[in-house]
Amino acid sequence: MTDTPNFDFPKATITEQNLNELDKLPVHWVQTEHELYQLIDEIDGVDVVALDTEFIKRTTYYPILALAQVNTGKAIYLVDAPKLDLTEFWEALIEVPTMVWYACGEDLGIFYLLAKCPALTNVFDVQIGVAYLTGKMQAGYSQAVSEILGIEVDKGESQSNWLTRPLTSHQERYAANDVRYLLALYQAVQDELIKRQVLDCAIEDSHHYARELHQIQNQADDTLYLDLLAPIYNRRQIGVLQQLTQWREALARATNEPKTFVIGKQALREIVLEMPDNIKQLARTTINRAALRRYGEEIVRIIRQVKATSEDNLPPLPPPTYHSKDKPFKNPLNDIIQAYELKHHIPANLLLKNRWVNELLVVAAYDGDIETLSPELLGYRKALVVDEILPLLKEYKAHILQVFAQPVYEP
């Protein structure tokens, strides 16, 4: 019988000499064009670099890149982003065989915004690797460094003003430490992933994540509403949601302010549900008073316009959502996932994330094309999906269709 997988943090052996070498990595500021080209030359000569960014995005639509940290294995570089044209820097990073990040979501968003490149295929997110080893999806960098390398990292400057110059010595040390231990952590995580024979899975998911972030960064304004859909919305409400999110995005971009400054998420939901067609009704929502004064008439105009739109020109309803608490397939599905977890030493919560389950129920119920599933389900998980999960769910087809046919009420 297969042993139960061990999903504890692995412990890497860091000798005092290794630790001294890490702590003594030189830190160089990159503030001139000459220094930047020296760094680019060094990046061109290595196979792996570790990266992080510091940015400000509290009162603007566009994030302001304040600092890029690079560990080439030879030295740590703090790139003074506001001073430099980083076009060739981004190009060098795109060409390096492996870029190592930790929790790269916001970092890659900025990368794609500034580099204007296709989806990256050289990204390894160590947080994803840690998740494959521990089952912990959101383990932070300092926790991973502490648990795996036995090194404590101070995270006290995460909310600093990174645009101030000069940085304090504490800010500089914090910024450097964000990449100082990242290559060593990557190596330790990679070694353990190889030992458990799941490195390719972690690499695949890193690439999927990088592509997903590229899609988000380049999403068309008229599709932004899809991320905010609720199963209780009818087509006319979805039409209002689509038009308001598109208008809000364009306005926030033009004024360079966060879109929540225009309409917050809760107020947007209330507007979509209530469909107010005059200022008095709109004022009963939680839209902030300044936004009501500035944009109220335009919001009401958009709602009236959608109300007058013919049914044929409204957005379609999304795929149905399984909303019943009765899930007769739940236990047998869990059995399949747990058996795969035991056999392949992959945590169950990585094999089948909650956001994928409804997709699978829709395909099973309507005999849909599996190629419409999320790309993550069509990589190494595909055999599991096709050979085991979908055949199981199809046994419950009548029940799933019955649930899909039931109206969804607002809780």
Same domain, 194 and 135: yes
* Peptide bond between residue 166 and the one before it cis (omega within 30 degrees of 0): yes
247 and 292 share one domain: yes
What is the domain-level CATH number for residue 126?
Answer: 3.30.420.10
Least-confidence region, from 35-44, 327-336, 400-409 = 400-409
Within this chain, do residues 27 and 110 fall inside the same structural domain, yes or no?
A: yes
Same domain, 212 and 334: no
267 and 334 together in one domain: no
In a domain, 260, yes or no: yes
Q: Are residues 92 and 178 in the same domain?
A: yes
Regarding whether 309 and 340 lie in a shared domain, the answer is no
Q: Is residue 10 part of a domain?
A: no
Dump pLDDT digits (tens) for 89-98. 999 999 999 9
- Phi/psi region, residue 345 (left: phi>0; alpha: psi -120 to 50; beta: rest), is left
Residue range of the domain that includes 169 = 16-218
The count of domains in the chain is 3
How far is 38 from 33, CA to CA, in rounded Å?
A: 9
Average pLDDT over every residue of 300-307: 98
pTM (predicted TM-score)? 0.94
- What is the structure's pLDDT at 5? 82
Q: Is the pLDDT of residue 226 over 60?
A: yes
Verify that 382 and 253 share a domain, yes or no: no
Place of tokens 């990368």: 111
Query: Are 307 and 333 members of one domain?
Result: no
Q: Is residue 3 part of a domain?
A: no
Asked if 302 and 346 sit in the same domain, the reply is: no
DSSP state of 61: S
